[in-house]
């Protein structure tokens, strides 16, 4: 597991670190090799809370490029203009959205063709290596204390998504004053409907 850090001058808190695993390493590598892109723009996509905006900021700080975040919520004309400007200035542009084509239903033909010509960089759901790391980070932010065996137990029983990990930490925040135990975590998450019941049943 490695981390990318934002440059000096920005906060040194844990949110300035982007954890790298098999689920996102290809996107990271493509950003490091931005000079080889066929055009001066790329599309970075990933699920909610996957760190796509953080990764984009790290890229911009290192490359001197620009970011167009939440592009799928912006006007297509603005995205089109930004893409063209990047080519004119020869300055890399990272277009960030939740999904790429065709899920991102772009209506403007000229923009659709330009996005199709741009490299697609994808952040996938967290893998087995990343999930416990993300749980630990979420717990730190919520001042939650748990032994490694609790983290391991939880890693096997929640939905494999970035947003689910944050929801788990939110639910357990009321237990912040005491060290979390497996029975305590099980009871709280069962009540909130956040346990993977299939996996729980298999191990009973």
Residue 125 has a pLDDT of 95
pLDDT tens digits, 114-134: 999 999 999 999 999 999 999
Q: Which residue has the tokens 């890399």?
A: 92
DSSP string, the chain: -EEEEPPTTS--SGGGEEEE-TTTHHHHHHHHTGGG-SSSEEEEE--TTSSHHHHHHHHHHHH--EEETTGGGS-HHHHHHHHHHHHHHT--EEEEES--TTTS----HHHHHHHHHS-EEE--S--TTHHHHHHHHHHHHTT-EE-HHHHHHHHTTS-SSHHHHHHHHHHHGGGTTSEE-HHHHHHHHHHHT-S-HHHHHHT-
- Positive/negative CA dihedral, 138, 142, 148, 151: negative
Tell me the domains of the chain and their CATH numbers. 2-122 (3.40.50.300), 130-202 (1.10.8.60)
Give residues with Cβ within 8 angstroms of 154, minimum separation 6.
135, 146, 168, 185
pLDDT of residue 13: 32
30-41 pLDDT, tens digit each: 999 999 999 999
Sign of CA dihedral 96, 49, 63, 23: negative
The structure's pTM equals: 0.85
pLDDT of amino acid 176: 76
Per run of 10 residues, the mean pLDDT along the chain (length 204 residues) is 48 59 94 97 96 94 95 97 98 97 96 98 95 95 94 95 95 86 94 76 51
């Amino acid at each position: 597991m490695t981390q990318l850090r934002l440059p000096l001058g920005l906060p040194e808190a844990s949110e300035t670190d982007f954890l790298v695993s098999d689920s996102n390493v290809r996107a990271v590598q493509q950003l490091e090799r931005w000079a080889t892109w066929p055009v001066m723009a790329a599309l970075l996509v990933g699920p909610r809370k996957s760190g796509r905006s953080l990764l984009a900021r790290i890229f911009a700080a290192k490359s001197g490029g620009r970011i167009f975040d939440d592009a799928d919520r912006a006007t297509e004309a603005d995205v089109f203009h930004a893409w063209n400007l990047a080519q004119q200035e020869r300055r890399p542009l990272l277009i960030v959205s939740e999904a790429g084509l065709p899920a991102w239903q772009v209506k403007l033909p000229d923009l659709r063709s330009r996005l199709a010509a741009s490299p697609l960089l994808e952040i996938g759901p967290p893998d087995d290596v990343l999930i416990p790391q993300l749980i630990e980070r979420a717990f730190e932010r919520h001042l939650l204390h748990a032994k490694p065996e609790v983290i391991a137990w939880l890693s096997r029983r929640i939905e494999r998504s970035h947003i689910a990990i944050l929801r788990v930490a939110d639910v357990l925040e009321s237990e912040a004053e005491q060290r979390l135990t497996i029975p305590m975590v099980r009871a709280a998450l069962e009540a909130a409907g956040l346990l993977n019941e299939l996996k729980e049943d298999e191990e009973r």
